[in-house]
Amino acid sequence: MRGMNTSLITTGDIVKRFGAVTALAGVSIDIAEGETVAIMGPSGSGKSTLLHCLSGVLVPDHGTVTFAGTALSRLPDAQRSHRRLRELGFVFQDSQLIPELPARENVALPLMLTGTPTRSALRAADETLARLGLAELRDRRPGEMSGGQAQRAAIARALVGSPRAIFADEPSGALDQATGHEMMQLLTAAVSMAGTALVVVTHDLNVARWCSRLIEIRDGLIHSDRPLAVDRSREAEAIR
């Protein structure tokens, strides 16, 4: 596992506007390697915008985002998206799997898009699915999976390239509570084993409790930022 105190993502006073709307009004955060962070706040408070700025999907109007020592906002678009595919993983509210492809090909996609030969990308996908206890999903298309299984496959896709950080925006938003709980158990166990940082946007405190830190956003500003007690024993049974 990587050191917990080395900084992975640092934002310096970032501001992001959409026309007249100020989505982020000056946010400074430091996220360490391997840290698990939940972001909560009312609808429209800027959570998704913050996640997009942290992950280089959006470039802030002012301020900087530094990822592993590189100023993301200064990279040309092509380089930024290459690094995003290589070093970051994403999980969304709906799995966003490609319906035509079986799970293993969906999971292999981030590798194939960045030039890994198909054969090794598929091998890595199979290994990741197996490591997460999802080998049975390998040949299933999204239409042949439950919502919870599709989210698990999406977690495998996020992890396949051994990213340094995973970003999840309301990952359990479309799942019932028990399935959401299992999904968070799998996700947090996997990042904990790999030393991957995790940033999860959620409006559910039960989801946030899987993380070791809670940041509350209001009106585009950090309202509070505090540690959470994580019960690591809950992770134990997730991965065999």
Q: How far is the CB of 84 from ligand ADP (least distance, A)?
A: 18
Q: Which is nearer to ligand ADP, 46 or 89 (CB)?
A: 46
Single out the residue of 4, 21, 71, 236 in contact with ligand ADP (rule: CB under 6 A). Answer: 21
Q: Is 18 in the site for ligand ADP (CB under 6 A)?
A: yes
| x/- letters, 34..63, toward Mg ion (CB under 5 A) | --------------x---------------
For the chain, what is the HEC assignment?
Answer: CCCCCCEEEEEEEEEEEECCEEEEEEEEEEEECCCEEEEECCCCCCHHHHHHHHCCCCCCCEEEEEECCEEHHHCCHHHHHHHHHHHEEEECCCCCCCCCCCHHHHHHHHHHCCCCCHHHHHHHHHHHHHHCCCHHHCCCCHHHCCHHHHHHHHHHHHHCCCCCEEEEECCCCCCCHHHHHHHHHHHHHHHHHHCCEEEEECCCHHHHCCCCEEEEEECCEEEEEEECCCCHHHHCCCCC
Q: How far is the CB of 17 from ligand ADP (least distance, A)?
A: 8
Q: How far is the CB of 20 from ligand ADP (least distance, A)?
A: 9
Residues 28-47 that bind ligand ADP (CB under 6 A): 41, 43-47
Count interface residues toward ligand ADP (CB under 6 A).
Answer: 11
Residues 46-85 that bind ligand ADP (CB under 6 A): 46-49
Q: Which is nearer to Mg ion, 125 or 184 (CB)?
A: 184
Q: Is 93 in the site for Mg ion (CB under 5 A)?
A: no
Q: Which residues bind Mg ion (CB under 5 A)?
A: 48
